[in-house]
């Protein structure tokens, strides 16, 4: 029932980074930064009645700005855009005009380019106190930013409910046809002691997954999960039968009606009893078990490595701007982009 702003005294591109704290009547607590709309803390009560932070990150904003962190940058807890995941060769065509983006992941464009929405200081345009506290951030991405056409006005509202749901409600509009595919990139660990996520139990409502090339770019081919290590429909331990060297870094086509708000995944840890359920209006969830994670001096001085967290990134299919058979990600000037994702925390009975 609280929504507080805290000045950090840290400036990025002459704009101050502000922390926003949301607290419900149970004491569940979320801390966000207006830099990249980072989810810095998500503190919930586990089955033993202990308070537990379920997201990876740093103790303060300086950690997210350090050269060491940015050199092997995992996008801790940040918004991703204008376009989530990879675009093949950083190229696309809209209305007969070809555009070239930064090639910041080999020959491909990753997560919106060199300086995407994750590295911008957003404006705080509304704070709501009382039951279900919320904050709304806004950013104007100008025509040509990172190579994308059109001025894009984006709002992202975070609401913390009495049911321990963190609701992310996105909307955007443009003055020119442009591809838009937004997501959020929190790294979750539900274990009491922050141990690896191999023993977490994960269930994903997806009968198909999206084939990728050697650089993790979606090709357009849909593959059945049945009979493969990608079958999470009835749930299993993350490490059960997996490729122990690579883990998971794949996109899954959710079993749902387009645009309906439905359950994408449920993940729980035995030792804490915590369950994270992810609901979304988006058609795809990208499941990543953090193979490439290598961060020093995280929260409390802890280092984070491979398989210390998992991500469920709700979005449209990566590279779908180049795959005509997939639902369009082109936003037209007369349209309003909208999507909702919910992180709901429960205690397993």
Catalytic positions are 185, 313
Structure tokens at 183: 């997501």
Could you tell me which residues come within 8 angstroms of residue 247 by beta carbon, excluding any fewer than 6 positions away? 238, 289, 290, 291, 306, 307
Backbone angles phi, psi at 139, to 5 degrees: -145, 140
Q: Where is 67: in which H helix or E strand? A: helix 67-71
Pair 99, 109: CB distance under 8 Å:
no
Edge-first strand order for the sheet with 134-141 is: 123-128, 134-141, 152-160, 165-174, 337-347, 274-280, 262-268, 201-204, 236-237
DSSP state of 295: B
Tell me how far apart the alpha carbons of residues 100 and 106 are, in angstroms, rounded to a whole number: 14
Tell me how far apart the alpha carbons of residues 206 and 254 are, in angstroms, rounded to a whole number: 4
Structure tokens at 343: 């992180």
Q: Is residue 38 left, alpha or beta, with left meaning phi > 0 and alpha meaning psi from -120 to 50? A: beta
Tell me how far apart the alpha carbons of residues 267 and 202 are, in angstroms, rounded to a whole number: 4
Q: What angle do CA 74, 60, 72 make, to 5 degrees?
A: 20
Strand partners of residue 15: 12
How many alpha carbons fall within 13 Å on the CB side of residue 109?
28
Quick count: other Cβ atoms within 10 Å of Cβ 151?
Answer: 17
Tell me how far apart the alpha carbons of residues 115 and 120 are, in angstroms, rounded to a whole number: 8
């Amino acid at each position: 029932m609280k929504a507080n702003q805290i000045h950090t005294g840290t400036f990025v591109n002459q704009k101050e980074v502000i922390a926003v704290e949301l607290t419900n009547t149970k004491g569940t607590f979320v801390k966000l930064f207006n830099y990249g709309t980072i989810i810095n803390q998500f503190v919930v009560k586990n089955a033993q009645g202990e308070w537990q932070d379920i997201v990876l990150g740093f103790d303060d904003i300086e950690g997210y700005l350090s050269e060491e962190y940015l050199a092997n940058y995992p996008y801790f807890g940040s918004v991703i855009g204008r376009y989530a995941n990879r675009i093949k060769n950083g190229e696309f065509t809209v209305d007969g005009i070809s555009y070239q983006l930064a090639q910041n992941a080999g020959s491909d464009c990753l997560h919106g380019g060199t300086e995407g929405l994750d590295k911008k200081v957003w404006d705080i345009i509304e704070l709501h106190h009382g039951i279900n506290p919320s904050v709304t951030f806004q950013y104007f991405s100008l025509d040509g930013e990172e190579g994308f056409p059109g001025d894009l006005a984006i709002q992202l509202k975070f609401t913390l409910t009495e049911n321990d749901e963190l609701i992310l409600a996105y909307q955007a509009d443009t003055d020119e046809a442009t591809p838009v595919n937004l997501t959020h990139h929190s790294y979750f660990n539900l274990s009491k002691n922050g141990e690896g996520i191999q023993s977490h139990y994960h269930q994903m409502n997806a009968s198909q997954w999206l084939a990728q090339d050697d650089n993790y770019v979606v090709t357009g081919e849909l593959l059945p999960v049945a009979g493969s290590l990608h079958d999470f429909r009835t749930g299993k331990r993350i490490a059960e039968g997996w490729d122990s060297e690579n883990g998971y870094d794949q996109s899954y086509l959710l079993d749902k009606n387009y645009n309906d708000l439905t359950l994408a995944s449920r993940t729980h840890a035995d030792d804490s009893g915590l369950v994270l359920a992810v609901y979304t209006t988006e058609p795809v969830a990208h499941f990543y078990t953090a193979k490439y994670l290598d961060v020093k001096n995280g929260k409390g001085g802890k280092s984070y490595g491979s398989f210390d967290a998992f991500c469920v990134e709700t979005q449209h299919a990566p590279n779908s701007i180049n795959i005509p058979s997939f639902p369009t990600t082109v936003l037209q000037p007369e349209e309003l982009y909208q999507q909702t994702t919910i992180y709901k925390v429960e205690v397993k009975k």
